[in-house]
Amino acid sequence: MEVLRKSSSPRGLFGRRGFLTSAGATLLYTAIAPHALPRVATAASLGDYPFTLGVASGDPVSDGVVLWTRLAPRPFEGGGMPHQPVAVQWRIARDEGMRSIVQRGAVLALPELGHSVHVEVEGLQPSRWYWYQFKVGNETSPIGRTRTAPAAGTPEAVRFAFVSCQHYAQGIYYAHKHLSEEVLDFGVHLGDYIYEGRATSLVGRPHLPDHEITSIEDYRIRHAQYRSDPYLQAVHKAFPWIVTWDDHETENDYAGLAPENPADPADNQPDFASRRARAYQVYYEHMPLRAAQLPTGPNLQLYRHVAFGDLLSLYVLDTRQYRSHRAPANCELIERLDGYCPPALDPSRTIQGAQQQAWLLDGLGRSTAGWNVLANQVPFAPNDTNADPLVRTFGGEKWDGYPLDRQAVLDLLAARGRPNTVVITGDVHQNFVRNVPPDYVRLDAEPVATEFVGTSITSGGDRTLSTVFGGNANNPHLRFQDNHHGYVRCKVTPNLWMADYRVVPSVVQPDDGGISTLASFVVEQGQAGAQQA
Ligand SMILES: [Fe+2]
- Which of 113, 138, 156, 140 shows the shortest CA–CA distance to 1? 113
- Which of 125, 130, 105, 131 shows the shortest CA–CA distance to 117? 105
3-state secondary structure of 238: helix
Task: Determine the distance separating the centroid of ligand 1 and the alpha carbon of 190, expressed in angstroms.
Answer: 10
**CB-based contact 391:439 (threshold 8 Å):** no
The helix (run of H) or strand (run of E) holding residue 237 is: helix 230-238
Task: Determine the distance separating the centroid of ligand 1 and the alpha carbon of 458, expressed in angstroms.
Answer: 9
Task: Determine the distance separating the centroid of ligand 1 and the alpha carbon of 193, expressed in angstroms.
Answer: 8
Name the DSSP letter for residue 431. E
3-state secondary structure of 126: coil
CA 252/CA 266 separation, integer angstroms: 13
Task: Determine the distance separating the centroid of ligand 1 and the alpha carbon of 226, expressed in angstroms.
Answer: 14
Is the pTM higher than 0.85?
yes
Task: Determine the distance separating the centroid of ligand 1 and the alpha carbon of 248, expressed in angstroms.
Answer: 7
Q: Which amino acid is at 315?
A: Y
Question: Can you state the angle between helices 216-227 and 230-238, rounded to 10 degrees?
Answer: 80
Task: Determine the distance separating the centroid of ligand 1 and the alpha carbon of 13, expressed in angstroms.
Answer: 48
**CB-based contact 185:250 (threshold 8 Å):** no
CA 271/CA 266 separation, integer angstroms: 9
CA distances to 205, 306, 371 from 446, in Å? 46, 29, 18
pLDDT in the model for residue 335: 54
Label each residue of 324-335 as H, E or C.
CCCCCHHHHHCC
Torsion angle of alpha carbons 15, 16, 18, 24, nearest 10°? 10
CA 91/CA 117 separation, integer angstroms: 13
Task: Determine the distance separating the centroid of ligand 1 and the alpha carbon of 192, expressed in angstroms.
Answer: 5
Burial class (CB in 10 A: 0-12, 13-18, 19+), 372: buried
Task: Calculate the CA 161 to chain-centre distance.
Answer: 11
Task: Determine the distance separating the centroid of ligand 1 and the alpha carbon of 366, expressed in angstroms.
Answer: 33
The helix (run of H) or strand (run of E) holding residue 315 is: strand 312-316
pLDDT in the model for residue 346: 87
CA 334/CA 391 separation, integer angstroms: 10
Residues whose CB falls within 8 Å of the CB of residue 147, separated by 6 or more in sequence, listed in order: 60, 65, 127, 128, 129, 130, 185, 186, 239, 240
Task: Determine the distance separating the centroid of ligand 1 and the alpha carbon of 514, expressed in angstroms.
Answer: 23
Question: What are the per-10-residue average pLDDT scores of the chain (533 residues)?
Answer: 37 56 50 46 69 98 98 95 95 98 97 97 98 96 98 87 98 98 98 98 97 97 98 98 98 95 82 96 98 97 97 98 81 62 85 98 96 98 91 89 95 92 98 97 96 98 98 96 98 97 98 97 97 97
Task: Determine the distance separating the centroid of ligand 1 and the alpha carbon of 103, expressed in angstroms.
Answer: 38
Task: Determine the distance separating the centroid of ligand 1 and the alpha carbon of 252, expressed in angstroms.
Answer: 9
CA 457/CA 170 separation, integer angstroms: 10
- How many other C-beta atoms lie within 10 A of the C-beta of residue 145? 16
- Which of 110, 90, 112 shows the shortest CA–CA distance to 102? 90
Task: Determine the distance separating the centroid of ligand 1 and the alpha carbon of 522, expressed in angstroms.
Answer: 26
**CB-based contact 144:158 (threshold 8 Å):** no
CA 292/CA 301 separation, integer angstroms: 8
Task: Determine the distance separating the centroid of ligand 1 and the alpha carbon of 204, expressed in angstroms.
Answer: 20
CA distances to 41, 101, 260 from 15, in Å? 21, 11, 54
Task: Determine the distance separating the centroid of ligand 1 and the alpha carbon of 377, expressed in angstroms.
Answer: 10
Task: Determine the distance separating the centroid of ligand 1 and the alpha carbon of 389, expressed in angstroms.
Answer: 28
Task: Determine the distance separating the centroid of ligand 1 and the alpha carbon of 75, expressed in angstroms.
Answer: 24
Task: Determine the distance separating the centroid of ligand 1 and the alpha carbon of 429, expressed in angstroms.
Answer: 6
Task: Determine the distance separating the centroid of ligand 1 and the alpha carbon of 375, expressed in angstroms.
Answer: 15
Residues whose CB falls within 8 Å of the CB of residue 97, separated by 6 or more in sequence, listed in order: none
3-state secondary structure of 38: helix
Alpha helix (H) residue ranges in 239-325: 272-286
**CB-based contact 458:167 (threshold 8 Å):** yes
- Which of 161, 26, 50, 140 shows the shortest CA–CA distance to 93? 140
Task: Determine the distance separating the centroid of ligand 1 and the alpha carbon of 178, expressed in angstroms.
Answer: 20
Task: Determine the distance separating the centroid of ligand 1 and the alpha carbon of 383, expressed in angstroms.
Answer: 18
Task: Determine the distance separating the centroid of ligand 1 and the alpha carbon of 9, expressed in angstroms.
Answer: 46
